[in-house]
């Protein structure tokens, strides 16, 4: 726990409401070097933080759970 607190991205993540120490540490472990992602959308997709699009024929679901 002490080690992860020295990582600048950890401080940024834990400043977001709802992101606690355990979740922030898990994200950092999964992501690795954040600089390898060209934009926030790429990072969100990699981390599984985007809503999948559900559609069937002409119907397109909105506000589906994450």
Average pLDDT value for the chain = 79
Local mean pLDDT, 10-residue blocks, the chain (66 residues)? 81 89 87 87 79 66 56
Q: Hey, where are the domains in the chain?
A: 4-47
Res 55: pLDDT: 63
**pLDDT above 90: percentage of residues in the chain:** 9
Q: What is each CA distance from 65 to 18, 40, 41, 50, in whole angstroms?
A: 17, 20, 18, 10
Say if residues 33 and 15 touch (Cβ distance below 8 Å).
no
């Amino acid at each position: 726990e002490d080690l992860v607190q020295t990582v600048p991205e950890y401080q940024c993540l834990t400043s977001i409401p709802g992101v606690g120490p355990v979740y922030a540490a898990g994200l950092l472990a999964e992501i690795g070097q954040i600089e390898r992602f060209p934009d926030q959308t790429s990072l969100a997709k990699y981390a599984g933080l985007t809503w999948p699009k559900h559609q069937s024929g002409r119907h397109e679901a909105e506000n589906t759970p994450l």
